[in-house]
Amino acid sequence: MRLIFMGTPDFSVPILDALVQAGHDICAVYCQPPRPAGRGKKPRPSPVQQRAEEIGLLVRHPASLKHPEPQEEFAELEAEAAVVVAYGLILPQIILDAPKHGCLNIHASLLPRWRGAAPIHRAIMAGDEKTGVCIMQMEAGLDTGPVLLCEETEIGAAETTAELHDRLSAMGAVAINKALSQLLQLTPQPQPEESVTYAAKIDKAEAKIDWTRPAVEVDRLIRGLSPFPGAWFEIDGQRVKVLGSVLDEGTGAAGEVLSDDLRIACGEGAVRLTRLQRAGKGAQDADVFQRGAQIAVGRRLGEG
């Protein structure tokens, strides 16, 4: 099938690869423009742009699709469909209508739950037991279109956003090829409005760990924000990110270190920290981190 691919971050790359491997004709790849990055703040192409150029595909990265010139260029491609996954720009109606079969979005949740920007983070932070990917026929609203195909998966008890992100990307790659192969036979299913929830963009203010919360909520926060932006606490005036944790047992004052292996008391129960990262340093397993940090039993995290 003659396709336009529209995506930007790492999540989208395996899906582009899967479409190419399935033999689809990718007539153009759209992604967001290169952004300043690194110490020199030089423009850096997105992961999708890098991958598309590696395999010799036409790449376009307009700053907006709201103007006549990029809209005309898009229509001139005469694509049968556009596959959109984590693209990051709003698609005007004229773009949605240009391909013969419209624009198909791969969304990393079980719609209508977790419409919006951060569905993977929010599913873990909310304690959802399952999630999945949906192939949706796009329309002007935010993730409101009818669903063509849906695949479910359970969320592991210790799974982080990074781990679930990679699993859902692989699932999306399989699902979109399945949907494209059956496109004319699939019946779009409208989303039930009574089940809608929104996955708001993660605010960095959410990332500070509140040890007075129950351990189950602290653990979800840590796993849901790993690796970015990373849940954190302060000690000796330095911020430390926590990138992994497991539920454990124990009681004490909120934030109190209960054991040398970094078992921390919460408002109810305890969590054991498994992976940490100091500012400007690499991530470390808890035993390696603790050999350097030597946080004493009885100390309360977040204090001086």
Positions at the binding site for (6S)-5,6,7,8-tetrahydrofolate: 109-112
Q: Can you tell me whether residue 130 is helix, strand or coil?
A: strand
Number of C-beta neighbours around residue 224 at 10 A: 24
Tokens representing 183?
């496109």
Note if the bond before 227 is cis, omega within 30 degrees. yes
By the 8 A CB rule, do 213 and 267 touch?
yes
Give the span between the Cα atoms of 284 and 94, in whole angstroms: 49
Strand 270-278 and strand 238-248: pairing? antiparallel
Q: Can you tell me whether residue 85 is helix, strand or coil?
A: strand
Please provide residue 185's backbone torsions phi and psi, each rounded to the nearest 5 degrees.
-95, -15
Give the span between the Cα atoms of 20 and 23, in whole angstroms: 5
Give the span between the Cα atoms of 127 and 258, in whole angstroms: 25
Q: Which residue has the tokens 């981190």?
A: 289
Closest CA to 120 of 88, 81, 167, 82: 167
Kindly give, in sequence order, each residue whose CB lies less than 8 Å from that of residue 268, ignoring residues fewer than 6 positions away.
Answer: 214, 215, 216
Query: Can you say which residues are annotated as belonging to the binding site?
Result: 109-112
Note if the bond before 229 is cis, omega within 30 degrees. yes
By the 8 A CB rule, do 26 and 37 touch?
no
Cα 222 to Cα 76, 153, 233, 273, 295: the distances in Å are 46, 21, 11, 9, 19
CA 88 to centroid of chain Cα atoms:
12
